[in-house]
Chain A
Amino acid sequence: MSKKINKIIQAIFPALLMVSGALLTGAILIIISGNDPIAAYAALLEGAFSNSYRISETFVKAIPLMLMALGVSIAFKNQIWNIGAGGQFTIGTILSVIVCLYFKLPPIPTIILSFIFAFIGGALWGGLAGWLKARFNANEVITTLMLDYIATYLLAYLVYGPMMDPNGFGYPQSAVIEKVLRLPKLIVGGRLHTGIFVAIAILFLMLLFWRSTLGFKIELAGQGNDVSRYAGIDNKKIIVITMLLSGGLSGIAGWNEIHGIHLRLMTDLAGSYGSIAIVIALLGNLNPLGIAISAYFFSVLIVGGNTMQNLTGIPYSLVDIIQGLIVVFVITRTAFRTESIQTFFRKRRYQHNG
């Protein structure tokens, strides 16, 4: 048992170290800006936890971030750099709303169908990039990014055009989905909704997924083309499957946001979720539990960051800086582990001698 605890500590310790490093650097920035870092972080915590509304907000924000980061992590495990989770999310929201507004079905089937459509939509958006990679060797970094923009403009087209709410005074947004289609709220005066149970269920499914043969295949494919082919895996097929699943989870995040929070389409629903999801996936070391914890941590930063800005005048962008620093620490540590830095120092020494 103590061995297990040891292992958990070993897994979490580096993440804690990196987070502390980022927070510390943030504190130095606060001091340079002429403010008190302790007061700032206290304000941040107050903003995240001082009342039930705020606490519920930390969970509300964590849900889509976690789902998207879980999706991103599937691709990353296979060494596919899906940076377009935002676009896959957007397609998910669009299909959800289409099902809700135009399918005229009873409430329960509508919610389920909306869920399925959102998953398929996100999956196809991601899978398209995967197929382009498998078929044409098209760099997925560029294709997922382009598809992200295309999704954003598609959403803009819909809310400015055919899906614009006729009674919406010309605002770029769709009609609101019916009340019965909304995910029930869990607390009074907060926005926390039953979508969290779906998210938790998916978290457990993901834990199970990495113990499945398909999960094993994806992980093995990420170890290199040669070894996975050698082990009898069809690499091209796995690339497409990886991206289908990766995009699908972001699609579900879209479904969750529509039925739980936004209730309608608006422009730029994805915001910067796509890039935050990458940070969360990396900080969580691509492990589902790690991702869940990181997602909550980032959600606290986001929710508390606004309060910090209002109370202390320290800009919210400090939160962005902390995020960026965490990524820098994570990749530097990975590089250390793969010994490239050690090689670098060896080389330097050799040059000094010679």
Chain B
Amino acid sequence: MRNITKIFGHLKANDAVDFKLRENSIHGLLGENGAGKTTLMNVLYGLYRQEEGEIYIHGQKTDIVSPLKAISSGIGMVHQHFMLARPLTVVENIMLGRKSSRGIFLDTRKVAAEIRELSDRYHLMVDPYARIWQLSVGQQQRVEILTTIYQGANILILDEPTAVLTPQEAETLFSILRQMRDDGKSMILITHKLEEILSVVDDVTILRDGKMISSFKVTPATTKEELSRLMVGRDVLFDFNPAAVKPGKERLGMKDLRVKNDKGLPAVNNFSLSVSEGEIVGLAGVDGNGQKELAEALTGLRPAEGGKIFINGIEAENKPPAFFIHQGVAHIPEDRQNMGLAMGFCVSKNLIIKRFCQQPYAKNGLMNYKNIKNHAQKMIQDFQIKTNSTEDITRDLSGGNQQKVILARELADEPSVLIANQPTRGLDVGATEYVRSRLLEARSKGAAILLISADIEEIIQLSDRIAVIYNGELMGILPKGSQPETIGLLMMGKRQGENTGVKENQ
């Protein structure tokens, strides 16, 4: 791939990226969230069209207009979210979209035999007649791999394949990948886990902010520190957060907390952390390491499987969401469109959806829309929400203003605890700065803030202490002023004290 540029709106997701994949190799594509890895691969797979640049396959210039074209050019992709219909069998999923040798009838038996053969060759252990819902996540992934091989792919793109796997399953996957390499196939592994790069990958390309930073062969001399520096590497940050007040007593506590994700797999394991009055604890971590589940457990939206949660000293695990709201736990959710806002409601109603039963917004079971409107006018002014009136539908607001509505609602009553999950994601620079300054202001008013973010810069700017989560586990707690590289290493799954020279903070 040469000189690939992909633009979304005014954002350059890929900026003149060169990418070269050797035959018979496993190539790691490394970068932070939003570095442009997935975009680049979607261009290669024909899901996006690049604005500039060309793609060459086996030396031949190829115009990949659609996934179909990619497939016929021998490119296969294993998505992070599996493209498998659950009630259908493995063989049915693999036959989908493919011409049958028996005309309009399915050639199930023939395909099943071929699948079995391929499965044996790569030790995939897939039963062609099993139904997808009966399979484990690791098995489903192997079905996806099998699908691409069956389609004749000799270039495989795997989008963060280990994100959903247990360590054992990941090991199995790697040995399969090695075997496929030895069999003449090439693979691109999108990842942000450093061990994976060191253990299976032959070459690595590192992207940062849409640009190709470096591309080289992985040798035994390659170190995690080197990779991390290339990936995160940025100028020393100015301190945005001078007035670190002395924290007070504990407002939010977690002890050995365990939470499961939607699939019923452990997402948060034995997590213990404490946030005190007037303190921002940054929780750094790459997406999908249990942050969402943790935030939901801390607001009553998801059951805790074990362990304890303390809110203002009261045991609160598995209490309903209303209890947390009552205790003054504010929550800026990651999914602001589905969870944080009622998009069809007007601004004034959205500002009170958590306290609509209380005075002065309601009395004797009746809403007081005059007070609600007055409240909204005040909030619109205080939080600089750009809207024509209090009755504008929230859906019509810009992303930044929608987030300000959430912020206004959650901060208006001076919460005792605030769980802010990716509060500035997707916002423009101005809105981002505004949200951050508001978080600092809330801290100075005494709120205990848990700031969950994948943005290291944000974590460093705002946090009084920095906790790092990886695979649902606490990797360590770093003091204010830690270097991005140090945080980055922990985010990649390296435990604190493991040869980093950083001392435990507490």
Contact = CB atoms under 8 A, between A and B. Distances in A.
Note whether A and B contact each other (Cβ less than 8 A): yes
Interface of A: 208, 211-217, 219-220, 223-224, 226-234, 354
A229 B301 CA distance: 7
Nearest to A210: B367
B339 A230 contact: yes
Interface stretch (B130-138, B340-348, B427-435): B340-348
Contacts of B320: 232, 234
Given A226-B338, A230-B301, A230-B340, 9 more contacts: A215-B367, A220-B353, A223-B342, A223-B345, A227-B339, A231-B325, A231-B342, A231-B356, A234-B322
Interface in B314-358: 320-322, 325, 331, 333, 335, 338-345, 349, 353-354, 356-357
B167 interface: no
B343 A223 contact: yes
Contacts of B340: 227, 230
19 contacts: A212-B367, A214-B365, A216-B356, A216-B362, A217-B356, A220-B353, A223-B342, A227-B338, A227-B341, A229-B321, A230-B321, A230-B331, A231-B325, A231-B353, A231-B356, A232-B322, A232-B325, A234-B322, A354-B65
Contacts of A233: 322
B333 A230 contact: yes
A301 to B, nearest CB: 31
Contact of A213 (B299, B338, B343, B356): B356
A232 B321 contact: yes
A226 B367 contact: no
Contacts, number: 66
Interface centre among A208, A212, A227 (most CB of B within 10 A): A227
B353 A224 contact: no
B342 A227 contact: yes
B11 interface: no
Contacts of B353: 220, 227, 231
Interface of B: 65, 299, 301, 320-322, 325, 331, 333, 335, 338-345, 349, 353-354, 356-357, 362, 365-367, 369
Contacts of B301: 229-230
A217 B349 CA distance: 11
Question: By DSSP majority rule, is chain B's interface helix, strand, loop, or mixed?
Answer: loop
Contacts of B333: 230
A211 B341 contact: no
Nearest to B299: A230
B233 to A, nearest CB: 37
B338 A212 contact: no
A232 B354 contact: yes
B348 to A, nearest CB: 12
A211 B335 contact: no
Contacts of A217: 356
A230 B419 CA distance: 13
Nearest to A225: B338
A208 B335 CA distance: 33
The interface centre, meaning the residue of B335, B338, B342 with most chain A CB atoms within 10 A of its CB, is: B342
Contacts of B366: 208, 211-213
Contacts of B356: 213, 216-217, 220, 231
Nearest to B323: A232
What 8 pairs between A and B have smallest CB-CB spacing? A223-B342, A232-B322, A226-B339, A231-B353, A226-B338, A232-B325, A232-B321, A230-B339
B343 A231 contact: no
A107 to B, nearest CB: 33
A282 B325 CA distance: 35
A115 B340 CA distance: 42
A227 B331 CA distance: 12
A224 B365 contact: no
A310 to B, nearest CB: 46
Contacts of B365: 212-214
A211 to B, nearest CB: 5
Contacts of B357: 213
Contacts of B354: 231-232
B244 to A, nearest CB: 31
A230 B349 CA distance: 15
A212 B356 CA distance: 10
A216 B339 contact: no
Contacts of B321: 229-232
